[in-house]
Structure 1
Amino acid sequence: MVPNDGGRRAGPAMRPVVQETYGPADLGAVPIFAGGFINFGYWQAIEPTGPLDEAARIRSQQDLYRHVLDAIGLPGQAELLEVGCGRGMGCELALREYGPAAVTGLDIHPEQLQRARHAHADRLRAEPGRLRFVQGAAERMPAADGEFDAVISVEAVQHFPDLGAFAAETARVLRPGGRVAVAGFFTVDDAPGRPAELAGLLDSFANGLDIARPVTALTGAWAGAGLTGVRVESIGSQVWPGWDRWLSRWWAPGTWPRNFRHAWEQGILDYYVLTAARPPAR
């Protein structure tokens, strides 16, 4: 991986709330994020009235990655980049089930990268070059121009300060014809009061960990970066009810973590999978 700085500005410093949440607080060790994943889950295959145990929870998180990887149509022997890889569980799933030539996990937080390297030490030793973890920001990726066939990001985009820079970097590191898929939650529109509404409902928006932006902020940024074929899929019905049911093991209705479902039902927030492509070379 050879950086191509091209005179671009330095990437943003890690915001303190992100540094704490994924460092000393170690969100991935919290029981609600079982199995080392850190996402809300895709619950389509989980029986809505059946037993809900840790195995089902882990499957929901794996299935979110599967849904993203299916949406991108990962070509065989692809070079894949995950932006915001956390502990690298999604990278490992992609290698195990989708057969790319290599996967690079990128994360801004050095402690998360240490956890990823520890969790996947056997894979890193057994197949050197197929899996690697590197530190960097979504807004300034340490990668060469056109290095990857595909870029994914699963439930990290709500932390990225500059979606325009993320879009530009994604377009830069993709090869012609390469594709990107992002899973994450956004406001449903750009009504001026949305950030305040979410801050009043959810601590993660009030403390700045999650940034309230409309889904069009990302689609517009992609278009501005020259990506084409932008598609937006709402998957809120497969995320919020299952996530809320899982949270009910720890929190009562009306407590802030369960307000994610409330925000969705009130038409403020939704969960999306977005895809786009870098145009093929002429």
Structure 2
Amino acid sequence: MDHNRIPPTVRQTYGAGDLSKAASFAGGFINFGDWQGIDLTAPTPEDRIHSQEQLYRRVLRAFPEPRDRLRLAEVGSGRGLGAALALREFRFAAVTGVDIHPDQVERARAVNAKALATYPDRLAYTIGAADELPFSDASLDGVYSVEAAQHFRELTGFARESARVLRPGGRLVVTTFFTAPGPDAAERLAILLASFADGLDVPHPLDTFTTALTRSGFTDVTSESIGTHVWPGLDRYLTDTVPSAHWTRHFLPAWRDGLLDYHVVTATRG
């Protein structure tokens, strides 16, 4: 794979910038979190980590039992903590974390060295792109992605590649934030949120992705909004960790204005 394909903002943010060190991302996970059931009176860094783990658990519970027979790949696996959690808590047969950024793959292998030694044939981290997955045809039972698809330049290739590597009946589960359709939403988001303005995040409307999945051969495509469990909790935590004028505080009003929302998308390979 040509590593020059990595967009400059993605290369910097997940390379030298190492986003996992930001105060808003406690514990090395890099996602906004599922805050359902967490007391938001005075959320702690431990609560923040719990929210991020809960988001993974919400995704991983979407895979059917018995899970010990399923071979999975995580696309956009970052520091690899979620893939390790998937293996440790859900007992999948094997989990491979895939990330386009070589620095992240290197970090994942270092951070999860103990887990890799414990499960040498069941846990792995490798370089790969969402539209160029390093797996043979129909070799996986499941593919999942947690808050990474907003960085993918387009989602058609991701849908196509997911369909290629999944066996018939295999499941895809994706969670991230999607935007409202139309150029107006994209323009307003670029004004509100620096990550859209500088190209780190790409405005993907939900229906664009679900349509791509159907055209790629997926069936039973469903989406569930979980915004109420993401945005208020994230913003409450940010009040104690970032200045009130920082652009990341604009995610909550963007959600309230209907410009974006957080979804869990599931689909079955036909």
TM-score (norm 2): 0.96
* Residue matched to 1:223: 214
Question: 1:31 offset after TM fit, Å?
Answer: 2.1
* Residue matched to 1:274: 265
Using a 3 Å threshold, how does the CA distance of structure 1 residues 273 and 94 change in structure 2: closer, same or farther? same
Of 166, 169, 172, which residue of structure 2 is paired with 1:177? 169
Question: 1:76 offset after TM fit, Å?
Answer: 2.8
Distance 1:25 1:106 in 2: 20
> Residues 11 and 137 of structure 1 are in contact (CA less than 8 Å); yes or no, is this contact kept in structure 2?
no
Of 221, 224, 228, which residue of structure 2 is paired with 1:233? 224
The question of 1:122 aligning with 2:114 is answered: yes
Specify the SS of the correspondent of 2:121. Answer: coil
Specify the SS of the correspondent of 2:68. Answer: coil
Mapping for residues 86-101 of structure 1, pairs under 5 Å: 86-101=78-93
Structure 1: which 5+ runs fail to align? 1-8
Question: 1:254 offset after TM fit, Å?
Answer: 4.6
Query: Which portions of structure 1, spanning 4 or more consecutive aligned residues, are displaced by more than 4 angstroms?
Result: 9-12
> Residues 74 and 145 of structure 2 are in contact (CA less than 8 Å); yes or no, is this contact kept in structure 1?
yes
- Report the AA paired with residue 112 of structure 2: H
What CA RMSD, in Å, does the superposition of the two structures yield over aligned residues?
1.5
- Report the AA paired with residue 254 of structure 2: A
Using a 3 Å threshold, how does the CA distance of structure 1 residues 11 and 250 change in structure 2: closer, same or farther? closer
* Residue matched to 2:127: 135
Using a 3 Å threshold, how does the CA distance of structure 1 residues 11 and 116 change in structure 2: closer, same or farther? closer
CA deviations 1:36-69 (Å, max 9, x no partner) are: 10000000020132x3111100000000000011
Specify the SS of the correspondent of 1:218. Answer: helix
Mapping for residues 198-213 of structure 1, pairs under 5 Å: 198-213=189-204
Number of residue pairs aligned between Structure 1 and Structure 2: 269
- Report the AA paired with residue 162 of structure 1: E
Mapping for residues 246-257 of structure 1, pairs under 5 Å: 246-257=237-248
> Residues 96 and 125 of structure 2 are in contact (CA less than 8 Å); yes or no, is this contact kept in structure 1?
yes
Distance 1:99 1:141 in 2: 23
Of 249, 255, 258, which residue of structure 1 is paired with 2:249? 258
> Residues 3 and 100 of structure 2 are in contact (CA less than 8 Å); yes or no, is this contact kept in structure 1?
no
Question: 1:240 offset after TM fit, Å?
Answer: 0.1
Question: 1:260 offset after TM fit, Å?
Answer: 0.2
* Residue matched to 2:58: 67
Question: 1:71 offset after TM fit, Å?
Answer: 2.3
Specify the SS of the correspondent of 1:76. Answer: helix
Identity %: 49
The question of 1:27 aligning with 2:19 is answered: yes
Structure 2: which 5+ runs fail to align? none
Using a 3 Å threshold, how does the CA distance of structure 1 residues 260 and 176 change in structure 2: closer, same or farther? same
Specify the SS of the correspondent of 1:272. Answer: strand
Distance 1:206 1:41 in 2: 23
